[in-house]
Amino acid sequence: MSEFDPIESLADMRHEFGEHGGVNMSVEVSTTFTVMDPETMPAVFQGRYGPEQGGCYLYGRHFNPTVYVLGRQMAALEGAEAGYCTASGMSAITAVMLQLCSVGDHVVSSHTVYGGTFALLAEFLPEKTGLDVSFVDMTDLEQVEHALTDRTRMLFVETMSNPTLRIADIPRLAALAHARGATLVVDNTFCPMIVSPIQLGADVVVHSLTKFINGASDAIAGAICGTEEFIVSLMDLHKGALMLVGPTMDPRVAYNISVRLPHLGLRMVEHSRRAQVYASRLASQGVATVYPGLPSHPDHGLLERIQNRGYGAGGILCVDLGSAERANRFINLLQNKDRFGFMAVSLGYFETLLSCPASSTSSELSEKDQEKAGIPPGLVRLSVGYTGSIEQRWRQLADVLEEIGVG
Ligand SMILES: *Cc1c(COP(=O)(O)O)cnc(C)c1O
């Protein structure tokens, strides 16, 4: 297990007080900033003054003080040198790719990545920029090693793949990428607090804050963590992907997410605790259950080796009910009869969200590719929430299982 504790790292940060001594930080909504004398302005443009050099700000699409605080919190969470936030997870991912890669560069990516990321790498960026992308099974390290060349700029993986919940062996993937001079970028959206990729050798971490980190399904947001040099490069006035493409986070959103970070650890513990209870009980009733916290999961041991102590195995679990028809009956009854959760995509909400990946979030894959990726038609993904009591929720789940004749 990793010795890093993201809760301690967050608590070690300097507390940000409000303008009048408020215990919460003030929200800086201004889009432009004044200087005390005319000489300061050119110095800010040349990067000699900035957030860390004299507390100088320029323009809202460049660093904003409130967004900057959330960026530093994200950096503390991941144990990174620096971090900054964006308007969405997708824009964080896109900005990192545009910053790292140039026309014709080679990229190796896991083939089980978020649908939007897959579309970006499979077609959009290759068509627009000539990016040359090889997709690999990231759990097959030999295959990854063979795909990497001296032309490879970036290796892209997700800590926990969706919906198969396979775990990336980040220390070994980092070693393979670095041996070829490539940058390892990890999407850690499924595992905040649980796994800290930068502690394990990754160079850049991206997040969709829309999921667990915000936790209320009421904001779209993203973050990028990495070296100070990389984060500053993203904001370069002439060459920075964030500055030039401009997926700017609203400071009000930054504030709202920032005040939810102090209980992210508690929430992740509870998401994981409940997912572990349901997964164990489902498995013991004979339901085909996929959850990395179960010893039957192929990456159970790997996750135990790389995870931070005390946050469990995550809030997502899957069950295979054998057919799409039965899966649909299952989620319909769970929502409309027992009110166990909601039929909706996305994850990390305080209520349980239920979806069938084969016909929703993974529907861009052909039937054959779905089979190859290990996504059977009867698979149901549960993003386990924490409202109600465990036993109340289990009664609802057990009732529906009985009604559809499973377990
Ligand atoms: C949702 C998600 C994204 C995209 O994030 P948005 O905030 O919706 O843009 C990227 N990666 C993963 C793993 C996700 O779950």
What proportion of the chain, given as a percentage, has pLDDT over 70? 100
243 and 272 in a single domain? The answer is no
- The range of the structural domain enclosing residue 108 comes to 6-262
Task: Measure CA 384 to chain center.
Answer: 16
**Kind and range of the H or E element at 342?**
strand 342-343
Task: Give the model's pLDDT for residue 40.
Answer: 87
Task: Give the model's pLDDT for residue 372.
Answer: 77
Q: Find the CATH number of the domain harbouring 319.
A: 3.90.1150.10
CA distance 292 to 313: 6
pLDDT tens readout for residues 194-233 = 999 999 999 999 999 999 999 999 999 999 999 999 999 9
**Kind and range of the H or E element at 127?**
helix 125-129
pLDDT tens readout for residues 334-391 = 999 999 999 999 999 999 999 999 888 777 778 887 887 788 999 999 999 999 999 9
| 380 Cα to the center of ligand 1, angstroms | 19
Q: Is 1 contained in some domain?
A: no
Domain final residue pick, 245, 262, 279: 262
Task: Give the model's pLDDT for residue 392.
Answer: 98
pLDDT tens readout for residues 94-131 = 999 999 999 999 999 999 999 999 999 999 999 999 99
pTM of the predicted model, to two decimals?
A: 0.97
Q: Is 296 contained in some domain?
A: yes
Strand ranges (DSSP E) for 149-213? 152-158, 183-187, 204-208
Question: What's the whole-number mean pLDDT along residues 283-299?
Answer: 97
Query: How many residues in the chain?
Result: 407
Three-state secondary structure call for residue 273: helix
Domain final residue pick, 262, 278, 306: 262
Number of domains in the chain: 2
257 and 282 in a single domain? The answer is no
Question: What's the whole-number mean pLDDT along residues 43-65?
Answer: 90
Domain final residue pick, 242, 262, 282: 262
How much of the chain is helix, strand and coil, in % rounded to 5? 40, 15, 45
| Cβ atoms within 10 Å, residue 136 | 21
What proportion of the chain, given as a percentage, has pLDDT over 90? 88
| 6 Cα to the center of ligand 1, angstroms | 21
145 and 43 in a single domain? The answer is yes
Query: Which of the listed residues 86, 91, 111, 114 should we mutate to test ligand 1's pocket, taking the one with most ligand atoms within 8 A of CB?
Result: 114
254 and 379 in a single domain? The answer is no
Residue pair 190/155 in contact by the 8 Å Cβ criterion: no
Q: Is 170 contained in some domain?
A: yes
Q: Is 23 contained in some domain?
A: yes
pLDDT tens readout for residues 27-36 = 999 999 998 8
> CB neighbours of 199 closer than 8 A, spacing ≥ 6?
2, 4, 78, 79
Query: Which of the listed residues 164, 211, 353 should we mutate to test ligand 1's pocket, taking the one with most ligand atoms within 8 A of CB?
Result: 211
Q: Find the CATH number of the domain harbouring 163.
A: 3.40.640.10
171 and 281 in a single domain? The answer is no
